[in-house]
Structure 1
Amino acid sequence: MRGGGVDQAFQVDLRGVVDLLSRHLYSSPRVYLRELLQNAVDAITARGAGGGTVRIETGGGLRVHDDGIGLTEEEVHRLLATIGRSSKRDELGFARHDFLGQFGIGLLSGFLVADEIEVVTRSAKAGAPAVRWTGFADGRYRVEPGERDEPGTTVTLKARPGSAELLSPEIVRELARSYGSLLPVELTVDGAPVTGGGPPWTVAHADPARRRRALDAYCRELYGFDPFDVIDLDVPEAGLTGVAFVLPQPVAPAARGAHRVYLKRMLLAESVEGLLPEWAFFVRCVVDAGELRPTASREALYEDELLEATRQALGERLRQWLVRLSETDPARLRAFLRLHQLGVKAMALQDDDMLRIVDRWLEFETSAGPMTLAEFRRRHADARYVTSVEEFRRLSAVAGAQGVGLVNGGYVHDTEIIERLPAVDPDAALPRLDPAELTTHLGVLDPAAELALRPFLAAARRAVERLGCEVVVRDFDPPSLPALYVTSRAAQHQAELEEAREMADGLWADVLGALNGAVQADRPQLVLNHRNPLARRVTSLTEEGLVELAVQGLYGQALLYGQHPLRPADTAALNRSFLGLLEWAMHTPDAEAGESK
């Protein structure tokens, strides 16, 4: 077509819009009552008379009555018949934070459970007549004179087939209590009151113990547990008040905390995520906020700068509670740390005060038993730490016996905490242990014994030469340990490079080979314990073949004891030594004499 076009209005398929709401916006059709309550409370707020009443009746369909500001006929056409129209709060010029919902989309939620919605309303403006608006799920609506003596609105729903249960008295009472029990209006269902004294955390008690008992009971009602402690929350810029209930049992840090959030005392959702920092998984919160924004479905919080600031402020409140606990009730702090140490450790990675609390109060696994880092440093001037649980288990007994205190840094956040401690206390530096250091703490033999062992050592070194290992004899505790496999971090790195080179293709094998050649590291050592009776008997052997089998057997045992990974060459040596020693035992003179009998 040539020339200017003609503007056309979009045609809206109301059934399609309702299907979109039910499948993609709202999580459940049960939210219909929340939307109706929001509209009623907003109408009461707009009238500005204070107080207000919302009555819900369930006989012969659902009716929601309010004594709010009501609508004129012109407003009915503008606000109820145009999908996506600006909210009533904007039309009437009120501040955004005064209202809960939005008339247009909110009223459409009634079509989730009904095929017909009737609204009878009368504006509070002087002389305004009552108006009846009837909307149908097929997209039609009708406006006609209505009957109502006082300003306000009545919304009536007639259940569609299959939705009658959602409008039943039992379900309506349950939904009204869930969504509206804290509303600042008088809310009743079939004459029975739903609203009471407001948020429990705002109820004043002359006796703090009585208030705590009331909040404990509230926590049991909501979550089914008695809280370890209750923390009051207050973020003025978000208009937020509430309480955090500290969980009385451990919880997995990966589980995101879900919190009960009210907006202007209307329930937003029971399981809102993202309200607190991720490390604060040890609390469950119930809060009411006046300034935080909901998402379009009004079942979650909109991620913006205010929510981020609120999240940080709530995290700071939890941090202050912990600091105060450390100053006023150390025994209770220790009990808390035993339950929720992972959350506190996560805080300590970013917060200096939390780091000091962890250093002073949180027990770590050490070679001297469970102990705080501060106490361990006082007791062990030559303290070290290792970065894995396996390495700690391998070396702690030997290190402890030689007077080298060892801290296990292999659990979540432990190594990062140990390495961050000098940031708050330069004297708290704790060096990392290089396993090769241990050999410098092991006792050496006297010169005569060392000289006598030279032939054995020569044969022993030949036995493990192709395994990339050296053999030394030392005198150390515990005497029950016959041999110890010790490798430095540089040697481990070199071994990993060699293993990667063997598995790589030609080009990468050459590159890794060049890197491997550039690394000069001490070879791993098999340290035989001269205090162990078996090791001493092995060092007294003179037959080279038997020395080879025995030393390779001790080598394999040391690898298994230390939980070192076994290479194919290690496994072959271990099998060879086992079978060789078994065959040697079966051919000893005593064994042959037994066979002859």
Structure 2
Amino acid sequence: MTTNQPGHTFQVDLRGLVDLLSHHLYSSPRVYLRELMQNAVDAITARRLLDPAAPARITIRTGVDGGITVEDSGVGLTEADVHTFLATIGRSSKRSAAGELDLAAERADFIGQFGIGLLACFVVADEIRVVSRSAKEPNASAVEWRGQSDGTYSIRTLPAGSVAQPGTTVTLTPRADGSEWLEPGNVLQLAKHYGSLLRYEVEVVDRHGDVSRVNDTPPVWERPYRSPAARREALAAYGKAVFDFTPLDTIDLDIPLVGLKGVACVLPTPAHPTRRSGNRVHLKGMLLSDQATELVPEWAFFVACVVDTTGLRPTASREALYADETLAAVRDAIGERVRQWLTELAASDLALLRRFLDVHHLAVKAMARYDDELLALLLPWLPFETTDGTVSLDEFSRAHPVVLVTQTVEEFRQVAPIAAAAGLGVVNGGYVYDRELVHQLPRVRPGTTVTDLDPETVTAHLDSVDPAAELAAAPFLARARAVADRLDTDVALRAFQPVGMPAMLVDNREARHERRRAELSAGADDLWAGILGSLNSSAPRAQLILNHLNPLIRKLSELAATADPQLSETAIEALYGQALLLSRRPLRPSDHALLNRSFLGLLEFAAQAAGTDKEGSR
């Protein structure tokens, strides 16, 4: 038979809990001041629910015996409240339990949600002293609560009249390893950092009586302006003050569903997609996070936002946003507002749009992949590398109804000169997003055909050489093939434009894969070399295509039968090296050695020829 035992109370090691808060829940001890300011704001909010005309002030005094005090004109606490809330970890005075400060049926009026704010002060303080007089019981005496970091506390009722007005004063006595956070300069900086948008007036008073105003309200986006230009200028100045850069432009944000208002500042310089801007999120005026990357879509890495909201949920540490459906909806709404801004630019400010695209075309391309309407809108402005130069897809597709697109930058470099001379329209699809966008062209430009291009497609457009001319060049071609064979390359003779290009190196994807396999096999141990060797394929090798129209190739061909074989081989290696450089293919150590060898070899032959000519002239 099981016997029910009486309930037991959890025992809490306060020192261990403080360590948990400082090293795991909160990112830094500096949050102590945010928690104190937050409690003060919520206390004033609660009092104004009782009396809308009640004063609303928060005063932070520094230099108080090495610590600070935070005074508020809020609702205050009775002795019963002190026992209930200050002595019970995790109990929040904003809870709507009957009889316990049941002043707010709607929690949206309050910032705090978790009831551990005051406890966070033990991260920097050895002692917390709270003196409070309740506004709910006008004749009640003030109460003093003293909490120690070892988990002990004491409560006493103060003499009548010792505290003139309702409200609460919290005094922190610093601990040895937390005193730096209570220094006057740090306190003022932290107060401005967290409280710049708070609705109630917050002041920091130093030991000399000098007063510094913390908040600057209403927010810049809620103020009246004499003109749209003046508003735009004010928002840009605010962006400069917050982010330390002058925005390229500013975008108003207003999402009534979650009470969100603010501004998105467009970065004036390129930003890498993986380095997203830090967005500042204020919750009912209190700074929640200055690194809220989850606020905007991933593709909008070119904006940095400052917003104030009442409807988004914080995490337990109140240093990040809770990931839920509401946050996802807000993220989508901000993304739509950024798209709308781009649409407005295309319709009204083409100069600014061009400046924006010059800086952030990569981000716009990321958006346009999933938005045909946006792609169609920005086609006249988005730059792409093509055989016609850097032009927009709109312009390029009008000139080339059949658009060829490469898969890599290397492929484009190989074929661009020849394709341009042959009148083929080729787009470099090797850059991020470009190939995807080119393939979307037929959807937004009916009548346009898009086809992937392989270098072999271009070689098919090269003219064949007359059989008699190829026969005459047979000795040169035989020597060239012997040299190229050592380089795992085939040789072909063709006629193509431009005439000034003596040779072109073309290798398709299979050839590149085979070359990479061979490189890995050469550097692997016996086991892996055997495995890689078993994967050997009959993929075609790269091709060195010699241009029969080029005067140098004709000259080498004519002299092949009589010239020094070593000179011919060195010249062929030099042609291969030049074609290799033009292809922009990554150079291997053997390629560097070949380029060096052929260059020095040609210099040596030139020096010998000059010496022979000098002797012959004597």
TM-score category, normalised to shorter length? 0.7 to 0.9
Identity %, equivalent residues:
52
TM-score (norm 1): 0.88
Worse overlay, 501-510 or 4-13: 501-510
8 Å contact kept, 2:58–2:200: no
SS of 2:88's equivalent?
coil
8 Å contact kept, 2:381–2:392: yes
SS of 1:347's equivalent?
helix
Q: Which amino acid aligns with 1:17?
A: L
Please state if 1:96 is matched with 2:107: yes
Worse overlay, 460-469 or 310-319: 460-469
Q: Which amino acid aligns with 2:395?
A: E
Please state if 1:558 is matched with 2:579: yes
- Shift, 1:249, TM fit: 1.9
Matches within 5 A, 1:243-392: 243-392=263-412
- Alignment match, 2:230: 210
- Alignment match, 1:530: 548
Q: Relative to 1, partners in 2 of residues 1:495 and 1:211: Cα closer, same or farther, differing over 3 Å?
A: closer
Q: Which amino acid aligns with 2:425?
A: G
SS of 2:271's equivalent?
coil
Q: Which amino acid aligns with 1:530?
A: H
8 Å contact kept, 1:585–1:591: no
Please state if 1:157 is matched with 2:150: no
- Shift, 1:200, TM fit: 1.1
- Shift, 1:286, TM fit: 0.8
TM-score (norm 2): 0.85
Q: Which amino acid aligns with 1:18?
A: V
Paired with 1:585 and 1:115, the residues of 2 have a C-alpha distance of: 86
Q: Which amino acid aligns with 2:133?
A: R
Structure 1 residues 371-420: Cα deviation after superposition (integer angstroms, max 9, x where no partner): 11111122234542223333333332222122223322222322232233
Paired with 1:355 and 1:132, the residues of 2 have a C-alpha distance of: 66
Q: Which amino acid aligns with 1:485?
A: L
Q: Relative to 1, partners in 2 of residues 1:173 and 1:592: Cα closer, same or farther, differing over 3 Å?
A: closer
* Runs of 5+ consecutive residues of structure 1 not aligned to the other structure: none
Structure 1 residues 179-213: Cα deviation after superposition (integer angstroms, max 9, x where no partner): 22322223333365444431110112242222222
Q: Relative to 1, partners in 2 of residues 1:231 and 1:528: Cα closer, same or farther, differing over 3 Å?
A: same
Q: Which amino acid aligns with 1:327?
A: A
Structure 1 residues 317-345: Cα deviation after superposition (integer angstroms, max 9, x where no partner): 11111122112222211110101112112
- Shift, 1:57, TM fit: 4.7
Q: Which amino acid aligns with 2:84?
A: R
SS of 1:257's equivalent?
coil
Q: Which amino acid aligns with 1:159?
A: P
Paired with 1:490 and 1:18, the residues of 2 have a C-alpha distance of: 62
When the two chains are superposed, the root-mean-square deviation of aligned CA atoms in Å is 3.5
8 Å contact kept, 1:89–1:99: no
SS of 2:281's equivalent?
strand
Paired with 1:595 and 1:385, the residues of 2 have a C-alpha distance of: 56
Structure 1 residues 269-307: Cα deviation after superposition (integer angstroms, max 9, x where no partner): 333332111221211111001011122221221222211
8 Å contact kept, 1:135–1:141: yes
Q: Relative to 1, partners in 2 of residues 1:496 and 1:123: Cα closer, same or farther, differing over 3 Å?
A: same
Q: Which amino acid aligns with 1:46?
A: A
Q: Which amino acid aligns with 1:483?
A: A
Q: Relative to 1, partners in 2 of residues 1:514 and 1:148: Cα closer, same or farther, differing over 3 Å?
A: same
Structure 1 residues 528-580: Cα deviation after superposition (integer angstroms, max 9, x where no partner): 11222210012112259465665455334433432446789978987887798
SS of 1:105's equivalent?
coil
SS of 1:29's equivalent?
coil
- Alignment match, 1:177: 192
Please state if 1:440 is matched with 2:446: no
Paired with 2:246 and 2:571, the residues of 1 have a C-alpha distance of: 61
8 Å contact kept, 1:526–1:555: yes
Q: Which amino acid aligns with 2:309?
A: A
- Alignment match, 1:118: 129
8 Å contact kept, 2:94–2:107: no
SS of 2:339's equivalent?
helix
* Runs of 5+ consecutive residues of structure 2 not aligned to the other structure: 206-210
Paired with 2:188 and 2:526, the residues of 1 have a C-alpha distance of: 74
Please state if 1:83 is matched with 2:84: no
Match of 1:200 among 220, 224, 227: 220
Q: Relative to 1, partners in 2 of residues 1:170 and 1:522: Cα closer, same or farther, differing over 3 Å?
A: closer
8 Å contact kept, 2:476–2:557: yes
Paired with 1:572 and 1:345, the residues of 2 have a C-alpha distance of: 41
8 Å contact kept, 1:79–1:88: no
SS of 2:30's equivalent?
helix
Q: Relative to 1, partners in 2 of residues 1:492 and 1:133: Cα closer, same or farther, differing over 3 Å?
A: closer
- Shift, 1:481, TM fit: 1.8
8 Å contact kept, 2:506–2:543: yes
Paired with 2:170 and 2:114, the residues of 1 have a C-alpha distance of: 12
Paired with 1:117 and 1:573, the residues of 2 have a C-alpha distance of: 77
